Amino acid sequence: MNNSWRITNGRIIDPSTSTDRIGELLIIDGIIAAPDQAPPPGTPVIDAAGCWVVPGLTDMHVHLREPGEEYKEDILSGARAAAAGGFTGVACMPNTRPVNDCETVTTTILARAAGASVRVYPVGAVSKGGEGKQLAEFAALKTAGAVAVSDDGRPVHDAQLMRRALEYARDFGLIVISHSEEAALSRGVMHEGAMSTRLGLKGIPAAAESVMVYRELALAEWVGARVHIAHVSTEMSVDLIRRAKDRGVRVTAETAPHYFTLTDEALVDYDTNMKMNPPLRSAADREAIRRALADGTLDAIASDHAPHSILEKETVFDAAANGIIGLETVLPLTLAMVRAGLFDAKRLVELLAVYPAAILGLPAGTLQAGVAADVTIIDPDAEYVYSVDRVVSKSRNSPFLDWRLQGRAAWSMVGGEVRHRAGQG
């Protein structure tokens, strides 16, 4: 497959090299070329006029469901959805069946991912079986290719286990990703507030998240280790993270597009595609998340892509599974924030490409000469309806179905090879 390109006339945005200019990006044999390098004769040209040419996006938080729940998604189908969404790399969470808590599972995932549309970075489990009792073998996981550890999907309930995980992960240069949730406060099915009261659904208070965020920050500060807070959804969590960063705690944090796009008002018809954990929060929480993306308190946007079939979703709200697909809607929903003036294009690239790669220590998120040419070409203006027949993921559980969206990935390239090209029109 061809892996040399002249991408011309695009707006090249690369925060890692402080670049923001209209010009040409040259890729030779899958590697970003130096600006003064001459293109070999016959190098094919992509006219990127009107588009942004940025480092390939990394989604640091997805569930690919393989092994074990391939009827919802598999590594190849999830990677296709990722490429369609403009991503060139994804970090997949370990709550598969079996749980990715050992090198065998990590190796299996990577073997399956060899033919995938995007780079797949497995996240290993914090605890064996994800059961929150014994530490998983971090060193072996790292050696096999895991880029971080997490028991995502559920919290690490035992504070001592989390403390030890932070300490031990540090020894191997792994970051612990915390699903911050106090289980005893989380027996509900939606955000606790006026809307849960009206709908008669059991609530999960915002405090269920922030109580645990505070624990993780206190532990990370004490042991001097890095911690990453996944899917931040509340104003109080944002405040805690902001203060911890001011104190020098080595914390990074991500949120997901639904938390800066939707609120608990969206549950008014008991639509199970609005059900996820953490739940959609209040308007004040959404506003705080938006501000935190702009001011640097939050470092990354990740989809928390969580495919479920209609078996899990076409049911009463109480019984429906948590989670929504998101790989294909991250980019347009984040672009909406740029259009709303919340932050600029450079910040979008930081949130979707630079920091996710940096947090996980990946050799990505840059257009520096000499690196593998993982490149996303964003058409920020294309308008379309995200109808169910457009969905690339194997599952359809998106709260944004039939939304009119603006902006999409025109091209996604991994190592200079085209892995996605948007249909014309």
Interface with another protein (CB under 8 A) = 187, 192-203, 269-270, 311, 314-320
CB nearer to another protein: pick between 45 and 310: 310
Residue 85 Cβ vs another protein, minimum distance, rounded to whole Å: 29
Angle in degrees, 0-180, between the axes of helices 103-113 and 75-84, rounded to the nearest 10: 60
Annotation marks residue 304 as catalytic = yes
**H or E segment at 326?**
none
Given the complex with another protein, which of 262 and 274 has the nearer CB atom?
A: 274
Beta bridge partners of 253: 229
Selecting among 304, 374, 389, 402, the annotated active-site residue is 304
Nearer to another protein, 189 or 306 (CB): 189
The residue count for the chain: 425
Nearer to another protein, 56 or 193 (CB): 193
Ramachandran angles phi, psi of 294, nearest 5°: -75, -40
Q: Strand locations in 141-238, DSSP E?
A: 148-150, 175-178, 190-191, 203-204, 227-229
**355 vs 210: CA distance, rounded Å:** 23
- Residue from 298, 295, 407 nearest 342 by CA: 295
Q: Is the peptide bond preceding residue 278 cis, with omega within 30 degrees of 0?
A: yes
Nearer to another protein, 111 or 319 (CB): 319
Residue 317 beta carbon to another protein: minimum distance, rounded to whole angstroms: 5
Indicate the residue among 49 and 319 with the shorter CB distance to another protein: 319
Taking the C-alpha atoms of residue 289 and residue 340, their distance in angstroms, rounded to an integer, is 14
Shortest Cβ 311–another protein spacing (Å): 8
Question: Which DSSP string corresponds to 83-135?
Answer: HHTTEEEEEE-S-SSS-S-SHHHHHHHHHHHTTSSSEEEEEEPSBGGG-SSSB
CB of 205 to another protein, least distance (A): 8
- H or E segment to which residue 393 belongs: none
Question: Rounded to a whole number, what is the distance in angstroms from the first to the last CA of the chain?
Answer: 25
The residues carrying an active-site annotation are 304
